[in-house]
């Protein structure tokens, strides 16, 4: 009998972050889609998540989980419309929403993002507190620490049959990062700015290198680039990080696909231009 090894796909529907990258769409801000045999999860659906999903032939009606790390619009703007897509236009209660306290309820800094109406649509809604874990499809998701201007911000760690990968959204470096992200094979870091351009609550290339040196993943990806990073060149910053850490580091590009299995491989998707055919109109 032939045994087929099924990998997890991680698709970047945008690699932009911060205000100016978002409002200009210099880099897209649609978030990340994670697809396995039983999971179809959208992480941080920022502006364009719905449109860019359709453009790439990734039917938003097939998602069964939405994860939102914090309340800022470049991470959460399209969460309501993605909930409506996940629920077949609100015709059925379906899917899981795992979102930060700020997204669901607000906090001292941020107003809540989602209305009670939209929170009532998924079949399951969970507040993402550090240490909480759950299974969506065939992926275990664990909520991890992040340090950002939205104090409710959290990261996500994913457990698969091939080991773990993790995503740290906007965050400063913090000393106990290894406690939450140590042992992952792949780390995805939101690196807003290049080295020498620090901004409180965000990560620079120097911070990324410190994190990678602590957790020693097999490979690293940097994404969520602000305008300073885009003008400096994310690729050159990725090379600098790799030289500092010895860990192969990739600067993500819009529509990059990562195949996470026995190996970790990278490729790029092509746009699906005929949207009417995709939607069966």
CATH number at 8-272: 3.60.15.10
pLDDT bracket for residue 2 (50, 70, 90): very low
Question: Residue 18 pLDDT > 80, yes or no?
Answer: yes
Q: 160-217, pLDDT tens digit by residue?
A: 999 999 999 999 999 999 999 999 999 999 999 999 888 899 999 999 999 999 999 9
Question: Residue 270 pLDDT > 60, yes or no?
Answer: yes
Closest Cα partner for 43 from 9, 79, 92? 79
Strand ranges across the sheet with 249-251: 133-136, 139-145, 154-160, 163-168, 186-190, 219-223, 249-251
Question: Residue 279 pLDDT > 70, yes or no?
Answer: no
Distance, in Å, from the CA atom of 170 to the CA atom of 201, rounded to the nearest integer, reads 7
For the chain, which residues make up each domain, given as ranges? 8-272
How large is the average pLDDT for residues 242-252?
Answer: 98
């Amino acid at each position: 009998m032939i045994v087929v090894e099924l990998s997890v796909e991680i698709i970047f529907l945008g690699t932009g972050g911060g205000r100016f990258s978002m409002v200009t769409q210099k880099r897209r801000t649609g978030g990340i889609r994670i697809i396995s045999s039983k999971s179809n999860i959208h992480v941080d659906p920022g502006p364009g998540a719905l449109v860019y999903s359709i453009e790439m032939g990734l039917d938003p009606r097939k998602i069964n989980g939405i994860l939102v790390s914090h309340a800022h619009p470049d991470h959460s703007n399209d969460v309501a419309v993605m909930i409506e897509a996940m629920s077949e236009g609100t015709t059925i209660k379906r899917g899981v929403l795992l979102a930060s306290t700020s997204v669901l309820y607000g906090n001292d800094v941020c107003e809540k993002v989602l209305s009670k109406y939209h929170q009532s649509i998924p079949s399951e809604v969970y507040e993402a507190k550090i240490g909480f874990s759950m299974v969506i499809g065939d992926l275990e998701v664990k909520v991890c620490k992040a340090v950002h201007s939205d104090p409710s911000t959290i990261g996500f760690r994913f457990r698969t049959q091939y080991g773990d990968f993790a995503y740290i959204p906007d965050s400063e470096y913090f000393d106990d990062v290894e406690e939450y992200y140590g042992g992952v094979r792949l780390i995805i870091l939101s690196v807003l700015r290049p080295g020498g351009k620090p901004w409180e609550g965000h990560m620079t290339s120097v911070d990324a290198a410190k994190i990678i040196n602590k957790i020693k993943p097999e490979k690293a990806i940097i994404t969520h680039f602000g305008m300073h990073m885009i003008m400096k060149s994310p690729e050159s910053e990725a090379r600098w990080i790799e030289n500092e850490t010895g860990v192969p580091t990739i600067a993500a590009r819009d529509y990059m696909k990562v195949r996470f299995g026995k190996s970790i491989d990278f490729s790029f998707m092509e746009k699906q231009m005929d949207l009417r055919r995709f939607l069966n109109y």
